[in-house]
């Protein structure tokens, strides 16, 4: 099997993935800011990196997956009103800041569960790591790369850039930054415009505030990730993930802070960035006022939505595109994903039954067929290893689906494909659909009573059909359909039930 290659934003090329400690992987992903409800755009990194997490584990690694919760609240750029985002909203909603944070953290966790995302190994909060952040800032000052002004501390980017490649990750030149950074109104405490805050002095009205060697304040924009990643993954770890929009300034600043504290090296070896979800070609984001919240998506309650979309539909939709491409939202695209996922999943259900009833390791007699199936299965692995090309994996699976369905419908005989191939296919589909992609049946029906009633109805209908009493048989089928239960008559007389 080929080796896993990933596109490393830091080197701008695909590289073979090798973890620092073989068999172990440390991965840090920038988590949500819990000052508001998550929207569709937020779903992408968490689904993308959930698949990375799952795949690394599938490959036999023990993975420590750290995803933070930003609950300390970033503040607006100085010059505008320097306000803690979270405390501002708390006033509006008349809630305690931590109450607000709790509410949106719970909602975020709920959404992650809907998407069938695995829980990270550690989910540290910014407010829980104020001490670590302060310690880190102290080190940066001691090393001479930060300075204090009026109770705030800033990172000295200009000095850092003299001996480190500041801007390498995001492809930026420090001199250019000086020219293109917007003019700041009012007083500027910073020595240079590129400098960023490590610690900000808190105005009296700030509710979220902590004591520090520089006075009462709150931590800067980027220091939490540096502090928490090094605490839980070490000063050099394998993967750092997040959305492309975080490359600058967030990740660039993270690299700068961490390098100063940890011997000059970049904290993570592989930097993975997912692209944005767009809507009508524009990035979905608060500033564009075009977000669709996850709760709206699941319920269909939004002017742009023609219907509700199930979490698994969205997951499938996201996986049908490569993670580094933009993904444009539209009802048409979501509906296509919904149908496609349904078809693939039903094929998988058939395959599971086939594998159960026809176990064995008998070689198939149709060599061309077996070769085709084998090739497609190999391509699935190749595609996944090629920078996690889930879109291509799914394409291969869609090519396998007709083969499976044909075996089910007896258009292809069991002996032609061979029980061995069926068994291999079955474990392959299970591995990808369930273990790696984290998909699951939209509506698992494991209600014994309901199943008993269904069985009864199916039997009555079968008897009616035998007597050519189609009025009765159609009545049962039609009325069940109105309830969202579909009965499909298979070739061999059995009935397949599916739920809408």
Partner RNA sequence: GGUCCUGUGGCCGAGUGGCUAGGCUGAGCUCUGCAAAAGCUCCUACACCAGUUCGAAUCUGGUCGGGACCUCCA
List the interface residues with RNA, window 238-297 (CB under 7 A).
242-250, 274, 276-278, 281-288
Binding to RNA (CB under 7 A) within 480-499 occurs at 486-491
Among 4, 8, 25, 41, interactor with RNA by CB under 7 A: 41
Name the residue nearer to RNA (CB basis): 140 or 412. Answer: 412
The least distance separating RNA from the CB of residue 225, rounded to whole angstroms, comes to 9
- Among the listed residues 440, 479, 484, 439, the one whose alpha carbon sits nearest the alpha carbon of residue 457: 479
Q: How far is CA 469 from CA 346, 491, 496, in A?
A: 29, 19, 20
Name the residue nearer to RNA (CB basis): 94 or 468. Answer: 468
Q: Are the CB atoms for 196 and 155 separated by under 8 Å?
A: yes
The least distance separating RNA from the CB of residue 279, rounded to whole angstroms, comes to 8
Among 322, 354, 380, 429, interactor with RNA by CB under 7 A: 322
Among 335, 362, 374, 423, interactor with RNA by CB under 7 A: 335
Binding mask 417-456 for RNA (x = CB under 7 A): ----------------------------------------
Among 23, 360, 402, 484, interactor with RNA by CB under 7 A: 402
Buried b or exposed e, range 168-194, using 16+ CB within 10 angstroms = ebbebebeebeeeeeeeeeeebbebbb
Sign (positive/negative) of CA torsion 183, 214, 260, 251? negative
Residues 6+ apart with CB under 8 A from 250: 30, 221, 222, 225, 242
- The stretch among 58-66, 105-113, 352-360, 467-475 that binds RNA (CB under 7 A) is 467-475
Name the residue nearer to RNA (CB basis): 113 or 343. Answer: 343
- The stretch among 107-115, 116-124, 255-263, 322-330 that binds RNA (CB under 7 A) is 322-330
- The stretch among 122-130, 141-149, 293-301, 336-344 that binds RNA (CB under 7 A) is 336-344
Name the residue nearer to RNA (CB basis): 45 or 311. Answer: 45
Q: Does 97 bind RNA (CB under 7 A)?
A: no
Residues 6+ apart with CB under 8 A from 441: 345, 349
Binding to RNA (CB under 7 A) within 186-215 occurs at 196
Strand order in the sheet with 277-279: 282-283, 277-279, 327-329
Chain mean position to CA 422: 31
Quickly count: other Cβ atoms within 10 Å of residue 357's Cβ.
Answer: 10
Sign (positive/negative) of CA torsion 250, 252, 254, 257? negative
The least distance separating RNA from the CB of residue 84, rounded to whole angstroms, comes to 11
The least distance separating RNA from the CB of residue 267, rounded to whole angstroms, comes to 17
The least distance separating RNA from the CB of residue 173, rounded to whole angstroms, comes to 7
The least distance separating RNA from the CB of residue 39, rounded to whole angstroms, comes to 7
Beta strand 196-201 pairing with 217-219: antiparallel
Binding to RNA (CB under 7 A) within 108-147 occurs at none
Please state, in angstroms and rounded to a whole number, the distance separating the CA atoms of residues 439 and 361. 28
Name the residue nearer to RNA (CB basis): 330 or 365. Answer: 330
Q: How far is CA 348 from CA 247, 342, 358, 411, in A?
A: 39, 10, 15, 17
Binding-residue total with RNA (CB under 7 A): 87
Please state, in angstroms and rounded to a whole number, the distance separating the CA atoms of residues 160 and 168. 13
Among 381, 399, 434, 435, interactor with RNA by CB under 7 A: 399
Please state, in angstroms and rounded to a whole number, the distance separating the CA atoms of residues 32 and 86. 13
Q: Does 88 bind RNA (CB under 7 A)?
A: no
Please state, in angstroms and rounded to a whole number, the distance separating the CA atoms of residues 314 and 299. 13
Q: Does 320 bind RNA (CB under 7 A)?
A: yes
Q: Does 474 bind RNA (CB under 7 A)?
A: yes
The least distance separating RNA from the CB of residue 444, rounded to whole angstroms, comes to 19
Q: Does 77 bind RNA (CB under 7 A)?
A: yes
Binding mask 377-396 for RNA (x = CB under 7 A): ------------x-xx-xx-
Local structure of 172: helix, strand or coil = coil
The least distance separating RNA from the CB of residue 403, rounded to whole angstroms, comes to 7
Name the one residue in this structure whose structure tokens are 């397949």. 496
Please state, in angstroms and rounded to a whole number, the distance separating the CA atoms of residues 287 and 273. 21
Beta strand 327-329 pairing with 277-279: parallel
Q: Does 30 bind RNA (CB under 7 A)?
A: yes
The least distance separating RNA from the CB of residue 211, rounded to whole angstroms, comes to 24
The least distance separating RNA from the CB of residue 339, rounded to whole angstroms, comes to 4
Q: Are the CB atoms for 92 and 41 separated by under 8 Å?
A: no
Binding mask 148-187 for RNA (x = CB under 7 A): ----------------------xxxx--xx--xxx-----
Both tokens of 178, joined, read 């000086």
The least distance separating RNA from the CB of residue 244, rounded to whole angstroms, comes to 5
């Amino acid at each position: 099997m080929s080796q896993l290659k990933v596109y490393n934003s830091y080197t701008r090329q695909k590289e073979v993935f090798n973890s620092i400690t073989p068999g172990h992987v440390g991965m840090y992903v920038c988590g949500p800011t819990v000052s508001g409800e998550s929207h569709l755009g937020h779903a992408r990194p968490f689904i993308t990196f959930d698949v990375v997490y799952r795949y690394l584990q599938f490959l036999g690694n023990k993975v420590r997956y750290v995803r933070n919760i930003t609950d300390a609240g970033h503040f607006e750029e100085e010059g505008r009103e320097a306000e803690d985002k979270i405390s501002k909203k708390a006033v509006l909603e008349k809630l305690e800041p931590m109450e607000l944070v709790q509410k949106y953290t719970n909602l975020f966790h709920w959404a992650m569960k809907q998407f069938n995302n695995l829980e990270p190994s550690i989910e540290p909060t910014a407010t829980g790591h104020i001490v670590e952040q302060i310690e880190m800032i102290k080190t940066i000052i001691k090393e001479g790369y930060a300075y204090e002004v009026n109770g705030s501390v800033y990172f000295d980017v200009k000095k850092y850039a003299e001996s480190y490649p500041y801007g390498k990750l995001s492809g930026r030149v420090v001199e250019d930054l000086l020219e293109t950074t917007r003019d700041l109104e009012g007083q500027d405490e910073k020595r240079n415009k590129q400098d960023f805050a490590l610690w900000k002095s808190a105005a009296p009205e700030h509710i979220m505030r902590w004591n520090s060697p520089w006075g009462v304040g709150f931590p800067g924009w980027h220091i939490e990730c540096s502090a928490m990643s090094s605490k839980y993954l070490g000063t050099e770890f394998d993967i750092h993930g997040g959305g492309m929009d975080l490359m600058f300034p967030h990740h660039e600043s993270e690299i700068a802070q961490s390098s100063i504290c940890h011997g000059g090296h970049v904290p993570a070896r592989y930097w993975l960035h997912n692209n944005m979800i767009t809507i009508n070609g524009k990035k979905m984001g608060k500033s564009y006022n075009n977000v669709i919240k996850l709760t709206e998506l699941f319920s269909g309650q939004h002017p742009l939505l023609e219907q509700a979309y199930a979490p698994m539909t969205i997951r499938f939709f996201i996986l049908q595109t490569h993670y580094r491409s933009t993904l444009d939202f539209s009802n048409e695209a979501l509906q296509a994903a919904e149908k496609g996922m349904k078809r693939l999943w039903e094929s998988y259900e058939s395959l599971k039954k086939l594998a159960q009833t026809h176990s064995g390791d008998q070689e198939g007699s149709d060599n061309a067929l077996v070769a085709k199936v084998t090739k497609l299965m190999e391509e699935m692995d190749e595609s996944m290893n090629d920078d996690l090309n889930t879109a291509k994996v799914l394409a291969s699976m869609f090519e396998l689906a007709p083969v499976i369905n044909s075996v089910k419908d007896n258009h292809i005989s069991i002996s032609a494909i061979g029980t061995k191939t069926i068994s291999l296919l079955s474990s392959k589909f299970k591995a990808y659909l369930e273990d790696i992609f984290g998909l699951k049946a939209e509506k698992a029906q494991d209600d014994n009573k309901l199943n008993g009633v269904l069985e009864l109805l199916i039997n009555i209908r079968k008897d009616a059909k035998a007597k050519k009493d189609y009025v009765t048989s159609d009545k049962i089928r039609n009325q069940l359909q109105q309830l969202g239960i579909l009965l499909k008559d298979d070739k061999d007389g059995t009935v397949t039930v599916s739920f809408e």
